[in-house]
Amino acid sequence: MPQAGKNFVHEMNDKNHFYKLCTALDIPVLRTECSDTLIELPEILAKLGPLDSYIFKPSEDRMNIDGRQRKFIVSKDASELTTIVGDVFKSKNFPYQVQEYIDYSRSPVRYYNSTYLITDTEVKHHFITEQIINLVGIHNNLTSSNWLSRHRNPKNSHFGNRSINAATLSDLSLASSYCDQLVEHYRANGYLGELGIDFGLTENRLFFLETNARENNATRLYYFLNEMNIEIPKKKFIFLWKHIFEAAVPASLIDENPVSTKVVQDVLGDKILLWAEDEHLINEIYTLVSHLAHDAYPNR
């Protein structure tokens, strides 16, 4: 369990506070405006100005509003966003942010998660993995609603994680230095426990999204790999919800590579770990899964 002052852990998980912290530390973020009341939403959108797309996010981690799980809303049009938010949320006073939205289905953007364990004596960096995004949690994503009816709700915002190669890791050296800066801030304020930092990278932009002061999906993956005695730098792997794996990956693909691959169901039974000597096979599976992710993405 995470340890630190209750208020500080809450701040770590709060998107608005994370944005303000990154701004103070000169860590790159997307264009963002924050507020505590929906009355200010038109003013916030005016401050952001014209954008290709906007995303509305309640700021608190796993926040319930009106008795429901938090909902993200995406729109290309500021007026439409205002209307949808007003229709969805009965409560008018809660912390939220409106952020520039980079459309995963149309832009060469990749999302990563860097996980750590902070103890009394050390900071242990587990690894950086690439997230396989679908964002089916977006409330007004009608495409994803149809997708969910076919593939069962994974109850998460991404399909899983995959390993990254040495070249990609080199490209992420600047991101790693910013992660170290954030981790040192959290440690200096007394935080002990697992945490994950999410960030994105396009062809010409690096941006940070949030910190999760708890066990992350990639944390579970890290310990699972250790239990299997898999040497992380040498093996290429992909970690998926079981039903995503079954929906995306034909059995023939695995049968054709029996020597170089291994498929294992993790201890909770809802995730599949596949690892291989050959990165080409992992990339092929990633492509198949990404097609599902694109099918579930909002085309607004």
**What's the average model confidence in pLDDT over 60-76?**
71
Distance CA 59, CA 14 (A): 5
CA distance 28 to 199: 10
Nearest to 111 by CA among 216, 219, 208: 208
Q: What percent of the chain has pLDDT over 90?
A: 41
Q: What is the DSSP string of 36-77?
A: S-GGGHHHHHHHH-S-S-EEEEE-STT-EETTEE--BEEES-
Q: Poorest-confidence range of 75-89, 135-149, 215-229?
A: 135-149
**What's the confidence (pLDDT) of residue 147?**
53
* 3-state SS class at 15: helix
Rounded CA-CA distance 260/278 in Å is 7
pLDDT > 70? residue 190: yes
Determine the Cα–Cα distance for residues 213 and 232; give it in Å rounded to an integer.
Answer: 23
pLDDT value for 12: 92
CB of 70 closer than 8 Å to CB of 60: yes
Estimate the crossing angle of helix 41-48 against helix 78-88, to 10 degrees. Answer: 150
What is the C-alpha end-to-end distance of the chain, expressed in Å?
A: 39
* Cβ-Cβ contacts under 8 Å for 167 (sequence gap 6 or more): none
The predicted-structure confidence for 18-54, as pLDDT tens digits, reads as follows: 999 999 999 999 999 999 999 999 999 999 999 999 9
All structural domains of the chain: 31-100 (3.30.1490.20), 110-295 (3.30.470)
Per-residue exposure over 114-142, b if at least 16 CB sit within 10 Å of its own CB, e if not: bbbbbeeeeeeebbbbbbbbbbbbbbbbe
**Is residue 300 pLDDT above 50, yes or no?**
no
Euclidean distance between CA atoms 274 and 242, whole angstroms: 11
pLDDT tens per residue across span 204-239? 899 999 999 988 888 888 888 888 888 776 778 899
CA distance 100 to 47: 12
CA 156 – CA 149 distance, rounded (Å): 15
pLDDT of residue 298: 47
What share of the chain in percent tops pLDDT 70? Answer: 81
Q: Is the pTM of this model over 0.85?
A: yes
**What pLDDT sits at residue 118?**
95
What's the pLDDT tens digit per position in 5-20?
668 888 999 999 999 9
Angle formed by the axes of helices 142-151 and 279-295, to 10°? 120
Per-residue pLDDT at 279 exceeds 50: yes
